[in-house]
Structure 1
Amino acid sequence: MRRRGTATAVAAGVALGALVLTGCGGPDSGAAGASGAELSVSSAYMPQPVSASMAAGFLTIANTGSAKDELTSVTSDIAGSVTVHETVGTSMQEVTSLDVPAHGRLVFESGGNHLMFEKLKRRPTQGQKVTVELHFAQSGPVTVEIPVKSATYNPMTGH
């Protein structure tokens, strides 16, 4: 699903043979958007939840633009709420936003920063896709189709 507005959708390949996801970039292909951030999403996956009420999600947001942006919230029709968690050392905490640095990446991975899908409306199973919308401080929203993998999926091995 794409939203029309000042941002133009650009496709980004997903690492490890996952699927192509949709990201929003600048208003024209040769220049940065009003925010200067140019965002794309890759490496998205959700391990099949073992709980009927909660799930985790992982992805990478790349910014090839000249200005930073911030991920401010995430929504999904599958969950009552989706929260963003930051992991520092061995401590995990919910945060209201995370920076996506200029010419950098914001990585959500097992054991690190991650998304928590709470109050699941249905329990997704391996092979399905979960739609999420990423909201940013400066850029337009980015809609991502996250594939549901096995509960023991390891992105390093693809299994």
Structure 2
Amino acid sequence: MSRRTTLAAALTLTAALVLAGCGGADGAPQLKVEGPYMPRPVDQNMAGAYFTVKNSGDTADKLTSVTSDLSKDITLHKTAGTKMEQVNSLAIPAGGELRLSRGGNHLMFMGLKKKPAEGDEVAIELHFATAGPIKVTVPVKALTYAPKK
């Protein structure tokens, strides 16, 4: 085998492994997080966070937990009508999205280690039933911030 052929084979194998590790394999969830934000918390007791997880893959997945240095107690919540309830996971349909927003599904951070100020950034890591974890930087916005739709 020539040196050029060996190099081409090595590059092809490397590219295939990278794509497989990124959820590029057929049928796997392919997740992307868009529009994260946290309204500036009023006090150090709790905060909420919102974003959209888009799944361009052929397989559904679930957001199962969130970790962050900001709080050890981060829970997933869904809102049905006027009632908010804690859930163990939030579904992300194949070819669809999970939208976390005020008045809907959201994250709750309880017992903050510090109160983030407007302009700060909060690092979180999202954990899923199938896909690997995703690290997200969440900007802290004004208390009354509302994203454009």
Question: Which interval holds the TM-score relative to the shorter structure?
Answer: 0.7 to 0.9
Q: How does 1:19-30 map to 2 (within 5 A)?
A: 26-27=20-21
1:14-93 mapped onto 2 (5 Å cutoff): 26-27=20-21, 31-32=24-25, 36-93=28-85
Question: For 1:50, what is the secondary structure of its paired residue?
Answer: coil
Runs of 4 or more above 6 Å deviation: none
The CA RMSD measured in Å over matched residues stands at: 2.0
- Cα offset, 1:99, TM superposition: 0.8
The one of 137, 141, 148 equivalent to 2:129 is 137
Q: 1:95-148 CA distances to partner (integer Å, 9 max, x unpaired)?
A: 000111000000000111110011100000010100111000111000000000
Shift of 1:80: 2.2
CA contact (8 A) 1:32 1:65 kept: no
TM-score under structure 1 length normalisation = 0.78
Whose helix fraction is larger, Structure 1's or Structure 2's? 2
- CA distance in 1 between counterparts of 2:144 and 2:78 reads 22
Q: Is the 1:26–1:37 Cα contact (8 Å) retained in structure 2?
A: no
Task: For structure 2, list consecutive stretches of 5 or more residues without a partner in the other structure.
Answer: 1-16
Q: Among the aligned pairs, what percent are the same residue?
A: 45
Alpha-carbon distance change, 82 to 32 in structure 1, aligned in 2, over 3 angstroms: same
Following superposition, the deviation at residue 27 of structure 1 comes to: 2.2
Report the count of equivalent residues.
133
Determine if the alignment matches structure 1 residue 105 to structure 2 residue 93. Answer: no
Structure with a larger share of its residues in strand: 1
Q: Which one of 130, 143, 146 corresponds to residue 151 of structure 1?
A: 143
Q: Flag the structure with larger Rg.
A: 2
Tell me the amino acid that sits aligned with residue 40 of structure 2: Q
Gaps of at least 5 residues in structure 1 are: 1-6, 9-24
Q: 1:28-80 CA distances to partner (integer Å, 9 max, x unpaired)?
A: 58x336x6100000010000000211000000000000000111101110012
Question: Paired residue for 1:125, among 106, 117, 129?
Answer: 117
Q: Does the 8 Å contact 1:32/1:66 carry over to 2?
A: no
